[in-house]
């Protein structure tokens, strides 16, 4: 009886960087960010970051949580949870609250999980603090 109209607008807008787009500079997203294209510079969001399998990123990354299936050249700082799939590769240092790495994923850099990212002065940092502190 109350069928949802398929054209109705969605209010939680997310940023989608598709394959046909190139982003250069210090990108700061408000909501969730999906990357399937090219990003050069810095990439920062307090929410979830999804990096698709075709994405090529040469940037310092800071996000609340992340799913990585593409290629990253640069340091990655994730406040909460980082998921790296078999097609994902990170050439840089990683710091995250927790991590899952699928067989086949490539990492070339220092990995620090837990303490360094989520704990400061004996207290647990919020995701916002981690992203704000990131040097991007």
Contacting positions for another protein (CB under 8 A)? 5-11, 13-28, 30-31, 36-38, 41
Least separation in angstroms between CB 30 and another protein? 6
51, 128, 120: which is closest to 82 by C-alpha?
A: 51
Shortest Cβ 98–another protein spacing (Å): 29
User: What gap in Å lies between CA 115 and CA 125, rounded to an integer?
Assistant: 10
How many Å is the maximal CA-CA distance in the chain? 56
Residue 31 or 104 having the CB closest to another protein = 31
Query: Integer distance in angstroms from the first to the last C-alpha of the chain?
Result: 49
Nearer to another protein, 59 or 90 (CB): 59
Nearer to another protein, 12 or 121 (CB): 12
- Tokens 């647990």: give the residue: 124
Nearest-approach distance from CB 52 to another protein, in angstroms: 9
Give 20 or 121: the residue with its C-beta nearer to another protein. 20
Nearest CA-CA partner of 67 in 37, 88, 39: 88
Structure tokens at 85: 């799939």
Least separation in angstroms between residue 112's CB and another protein is 28
């Amino acid at each position: 009886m109350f069928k949802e109209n398929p054209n109705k607008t969605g209010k939680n807008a997310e940023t989608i960087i598709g394959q046909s787009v190139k982003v250069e500079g210090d990108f700061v997203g408000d909501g969730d960010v999906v990357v399937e294209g090219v990003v050069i510079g810095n990439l920062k969001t307090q929410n979830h970051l999804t990096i698709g399998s075709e994405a090529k990123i040469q940037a310092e990354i800071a996000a609340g949580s992340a799913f990585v299936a593409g290629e990253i050249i640069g340091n990655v700082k994730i406040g909460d949870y980082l998921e790296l799939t078999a097609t994902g590769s990170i050439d840089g240092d990683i710091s995250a609250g927790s991590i899952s790495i699928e067989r086949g994923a490539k990492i070339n850099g220092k990995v620090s999980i837990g303490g360094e990212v989520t704990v400061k002065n004996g207290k647990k940092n919020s995701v916002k603090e981690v992203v704000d502190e990131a040097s991007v």
